[in-house]
Amino acid sequence: MVDITVKVNGATRTGSVEARKTLSDFLRDDLDLTGTHVGCEHGVCGSCTVIVDGRAVRSCLMLAVQAAGSEVTTVEGLAPDGALGALQQAMWDSHSFQCGFCTPGFVMQATAFLSAHPDAGEQEIREALSGNICRCTGYQSIIDGVLLAAHRSREIPCGREADRGGRR
Amino acid sequence: MKLPYVEYEAPTTVAEAVHLLAEHQDEASVLAGGQSLIPLLALRLARPAVLIDINGLGELSGVSVTDGLTTIGAMTREYVAEESEMVAGAVPLLAAALPLIGHEAIRSRGTIGGSLAHADPAAELPAVARALDAEFVVRSRAGDRVVPAAEWFEGYLATARRPDEILVEVRFSTAGPGTGVAFQEVARRHGDFAIVGLAVSLTLTDGAISDARLAFSGVADVPVRAADAEDLLVGKSPSPELFEEAGRRATADIDPPADLHGSSEYRKKIAATLVRRGLQAAADRAHQNNAHERQ
């Protein structure tokens, strides 16, 4: 077992883990942060995406021991309990989810992407989210939600008001 | 799938990593970015007794350009190379290929050396290294050894790296003036492994092709250089007819594998199409670069 200290959502957390434990299992099982969802467990679906030191990573493809000394943000860290962050609100307003399983992964990937590319347009957003799989929505509503968040952050009218002018 | 039990070592110097490799030999797997090795562990396709995690080896990260040679440390993350202006200027073919690797979150962790040591024949970087005749520097307790790309890729996920060696850096010749590049691929979904991919570098001197380099991914168990097509191209002026003929030459001798994404024949047709498209795109960029340099 290896003792590790990780900053998770702003709080210093410690644990004692086997080297083979993935970061996703450490977050869920040891820290009880079950907002990070584990889908395929081999890096294909993107559901377990979290932000490590400012970059989106797949937490099932990273060992917990490798996160020692890093700053990790999970979906729980985006807004206080019961509140929604700006991106989450935009995705809520756009019905960007159905069953919700893949949603934390999309939210974290989009959070990392928008913070690095606040001026992103639809095509860039599609590209950035292309590694995340959703089996319900057909993706359009997810793209709409992220685009709405990007527009709101730049105070560009969008969503229903803009849609009346003619949808794609 | 949970990872199988494995011993874990996290050396902090290359010397320490080399010592561990000498001790454990082929019982050990070197863990770089982990974007291929961790799935292999999860799927039980790799069962090392020991993981030697080289993420703590800061000395293996970084890009430097000196005397016409661009050196990239093995642990340089793909996103770092992708964002590097030095890479964009000195090894534009590498810069063209990097955004096509997996997805953003994969490139956050994935490394240049890890991809090249993993040597998946469908991946982008092996084709780039083969096209540009990159050199691989490996280190063991016996010292350093330099392996040319033509000898590095030995088979499916197999390289010339010996069990007691660690890949420390990869060297690329810096692109000369008048060089245009393209990395073309056909994939079901952006970020997936391509059905076929092609790395192209063309250099135009006074309107004629003075250097041509083409390497395929996904058509064999190693990246494949299209030497016959290169020979045809050198000395001639770019034209659609020439590129059509290059496509025929480049694919005359390949026998791609068949799988659920496409038959061998289909891959061959895609390969010829990519040669035409890739050469045209590279020639257009070479023209632009020449025009730009003249200004």
pLDDT, tens digit, 9 for 90 and up, residues B209-250: 999 999 999 999 999 999 999 999 999 999 999 999 999 999
**DSSP three-state, residue B233:** helix
Domain final position from B173, B190, B225: B173
Mean pLDDT within B267-282: 97
Classify residue B34: in a domain, yes or no: yes
Mean pLDDT of the region B172-192:
91
The pLDDT score that the predictor gives to residue A167 is 39
Q: How many residues does chain B have?
A: 295
Place of tokens 């093995």: B74
Residue B35 lies in a domain: yes
Residue extent(s) of CATH 3.10.20.30 domains in chain A: 2-77
* Domain range enclosing B79: 58-173
Which member of A42, A62, A109 has the closest CB to residue B109?
A: A62
Kindly report the CA angle at B253 between B251 and B255, in degrees rounded to 5? 85
In the beta sheet, which residues pair with residue A72? A8, A52
Question: Please, is B16 exposed, middle or buried when counting C-beta atoms within 10 Å of its C-beta (0-12, 13-18, 19+)?
Answer: middle
User: Residue A18 class from Cβ within 10 Å (0-12 exposed, 13-18 middle, 19+ buried)?
Assistant: middle
Same domain, yes or no: B40 and B141: no
CB contact under 8 A, A127 and B190: yes
Look at residue B192 in the predicted model and tell me its pLDDT: 79
What pLDDT score does B41 carry? 96
B38: closest chain A residue by CA = A61
| DSSP states of A31-92 | S--TTS--SSSSSSS-TTEEEETTEEEEGGGSBGGGGTT-EEE-GGGSS-TT---HHHHHHH
- Report the CATH number that the domain containing residue B130 is assigned in CATH: 3.30.465.10
Q: What is B150-202 written as a DSSP string?
A: HHHEEETTEES--TT-EEEEEEEEPPPTTEEEEEEEE-SSTTSPPSEEEEEEE
Tens-digit pLDDT profile for residues B162-173: 999 999 999 999
Q: What pLDDT is attached to residue A165?
A: 38
Regarding beta strands B208-217 and B224-225, do their DSSP bridges make them parallel or antiparallel, or are they unpaired?
antiparallel
B1 to chain A: which residues are within 8 Å by CB?
41-42
- Do B224 and B203 fall into the same domain? yes
Mapping DSSP onto H, E and C, the string for A80-93 reads CCCCCCHHHHHHHH
- Residue B292 reports pLDDT greater than 90: no
CATH number at A86-163: 1.10.150.120
- Mean pLDDT for B151-155 is 98
Q: Do A62 and B34 touch (CB under 8 A)?
A: yes
Low-confidence ranges of chain A (pLDDT < 70): 156-168
Q: Which of A66, A108, A139 to mutate to test the interface with B (most CBs of B within 10 A)?
A: A66
Same domain, yes or no: B169 and B63? yes
Measured distance CA(B37)–CA(A87) in Å, rounded: 33
* Residue B230 within a domain: yes
- Of B161, B160, B181, the closest CA to residue B172 belongs to B181
Question: What are the tokens at A155?
Answer: 């105070």
Sheet holding B224-225, edge to edge: B179-186, B196-205, B208-217, B224-225
B1 lies in some domain? no
Give yes or no for A113 touching B (CB within 8 A).
yes
Look at residue A164 in the predicted model and tell me its pLDDT. 39
Burial code (b: 16+ CB inside 10 Å, e: under 16) for B74-92 equals: bbbbbbbbbebebbeebbb
Contacts of A109 in chain B (CB under 8 A): 104-105
Q: Would you say residue B20 has pLDDT above 90? A: yes
User: Smallest Cβ distance to A61: which of B4, B34, B191?
Assistant: B34
Residue B2: inside a domain: no
Where are the domain boundaries for CATH 1.10.150.120 in chain A? 86-163
User: Of B116, B148, B173, which residue is a domain's last?
Assistant: B173
Extract the tokens encoding A83.
Answer: 């509140």
Cβ contacts from A onto B, under 8 A? 88
Domain count for chain B, please give it.
Answer: 3
B153 and B104 in one domain? yes
Average pLDDT over residues B27-48: 96
Q: Among all residues of chain A, which has the CA nearest to that of B188?
A: A130
CB atoms inside a 10 Å sphere around CB B183:
28
Q: Which of B141, B158, B173 is the last residue of a domain?
A: B173
What is the CATH number for B14?
3.30.43.10
- Identify the pLDDT of residue A157: 63
Give backbone dihedrals phi and psi of B171, rounded to 5 degrees, phi first: -115, 135
Same domain? For B237 and B273 the reply is yes
Looking at the fold, whether B36 and B69 belong to one and the same domain comes out as no
Say what the pTM is.
Answer: 0.94
- Res B276: pLDDT: 97
Number of H helices, E strands in chain A: 6, 5
Q: If you average pLDDT over every residue of chain A, what do you get?
A: 93
Nearest to A45 by CA among A33, A34, A56, A58: A58
Query: For residue B202, is it left (φ>0), alpha (ψ between -120 and 50) or beta?
Result: beta
| Greater pLDDT, A81 or B74 | B74
Residues B152, B225, single domain; the answer is: no
Chain A residues 40-79 with CB within 8 Å of chain B? 41-44, 46, 49, 52, 55-58, 60-63, 65-66
Record: contact B38-A43, CB cut-off 8 A: yes
What is the predicted pLDDT for the residue at A155? Answer: 79
pLDDT at residue B88 greater than cutoff 70: yes
- A2-77: which CATH topology? Ubiquitin-like (UB roll) (3.10.20)
Q: Residue B136, SS3?
A: strand
